[in-house]
Amino acid sequence: MAAITAAMVKELRERTGLGMMECKKALVEAGGDVEAAIEELRKSSGLKAAKKAGRTAAEGVSLIKISDDNTVGIVLEVNSETDFVARDDNFLQFANEVLDVAFGQGETDVAKLMEGDLEEKRKALVQKIGENITVRRIVKVEGPVVGGYVHSNNKIAALVALSAGDAEVARDVAMHVAAVNPRVGKPEDMPAEVLEKEKEIIKAQPDMEGKPAEIVEKMMGGRIKKFLKENSLVEQPFVKNPDQTVGELIKAAGGDLVGFVRLEVGEGIEKEQVDFAAEVAAAAGTGKA
């Protein structure tokens, strides 16, 4: 069994809001697996949803480019090791050049895009700046109306395609996507395995215990409906007008949702945690030797 560290307990507390002893016990029972501990806590304590792990390995930027006729959009993520470099003019110039080339070629395969000139420029920039720089992801979105939004710090970018309407509405929806991060576009898009896991968690919650099967099914149906509403873009209250759902906003503009994509810099990458105090102590020890 993995040793339960203070850092693991701290992460679980931050993500669940539960007490230290409860978190430690859950980690022990889950063998040190934070995600498994969260799932068990949701079953046993009625915990709704845990925060996503906040630490990520990469800095950098997410950028978008949209065609003049608003029918094609490209969203790109380029990574650096530090936020300082992510704000460097040389880095931003390189990232925008990659974006322009990807858009011009309609290329979403990073390996193919970086063959030749762009790869040489990346290597030269790495030598100049002294940090590793990588082009991580490129996604293309197409539709009758495409709009996009980039958060002011270039960390989150989103593109939305609508069947009709106007680019301003698509941009507003993209802004909502950037802010709220919906799992899917419509309730029917939710993967079956996600729904099954959610049903398992709901069934295992304390207030379900001892109830007749038909009551459990009825209660579970209501909670699944709520889960889908909270996690589906068209069902969510629009951030700029919570009295209107995103779906109603799109419909009022005469359209329907075709698709969306959201890229957040560094999401899904484990970040190496550096203990600077230990590093300094080790360096001092080395110096004395």
- Residue pointed to by tokens 């958060």: 151
The CATH homologous superfamily for domain 59-185+251-264 is: Elongation factor Ts, dimerisation domain (3.30.479.20)
pLDDT of residue 139: 97
Contact 246, 233 (CB under 8 A): yes
What is the second-level CATH architecture of the domain 1-55? Orthogonal Bundle (1.10)
pLDDT of residue 289: 38
Confidence of residue 98 (pLDDT cuts 50, 70, 90): very high
Share of the chain above pLDDT 70, in %: 88
pLDDT of residue 10: 83
**Rg value, the chain, Cα:** 23
pLDDT reading at 47 higher than 90 = no
Look at strands 134-142 and 72-80 and give their pairing.
Answer: antiparallel
pLDDT, tens digit (0-9, with 9 covering 90-100), for 179-188: 999 999 999 9
Share of the chain above pLDDT 90, in %: 56
What's the average model confidence in pLDDT over 202-224?
83
pLDDT, tens digit (0-9, with 9 covering 90-100), for 234-257: 999 999 999 999 999 999 999 999
Rounded to the nearest 5°, which phi and psi values hold at 42?
A: -65, -35
User: Domain map of the chain by residue range?
Assistant: 1-55, 59-185+251-264
β-bridge partners, 155: none
Contact 147, 168 (CB under 8 A): yes
**Side chain identity at residue 78, one-letter code:** V
